[in-house]
Amino acid sequence: MKRLSILFAAVLLFSISSYAQNGDEYNVLWSLNQKTTQNTVTDYVKASPEQSEQLQKIFYDSTQLLVNALTDNSKNDARKALYYNIANAKSVLSQKQFKKYLEILNITYHQQQENFTSMVDNK
């Protein structure tokens, strides 16, 4: 449980500390709303059909919250979209599944940051 709390805090701190003006660090939410990514995530965490359906709704809702945040240019609301995603996924998944979810979320986030950094460096 302590490790899970530390991992959860690390994900939140990374997302808060590296906010870019156009919301690029929240691209993980866009990715989660893609059908192929949704299937990969639900397969990875071994979600039941009911959990998969709930996760898909969470992914869609968090993306809508992010759209509203970016429209309003609100860093705080963008963070809330990520918090919404994490908190609701936690309520749907078992502790073991949630740990796997955080792992894949963290990996996806860092891969996107590397891609963003390499794009900036290549300009």
Closest residue by Cα to residue 111 from 4, 17, 25, 1: 25
Separation of alpha carbons 37 and 121, rounded Å: 27
pLDDT digits (tens, 9 = 90+) for 23-73: 566 778 888 878 888 899 999 999 999 999 999 999 999 999 998 988 888
Task: Record the pTM.
Answer: 0.72
Closest residue by Cα to residue 11 from 104, 77, 93: 104
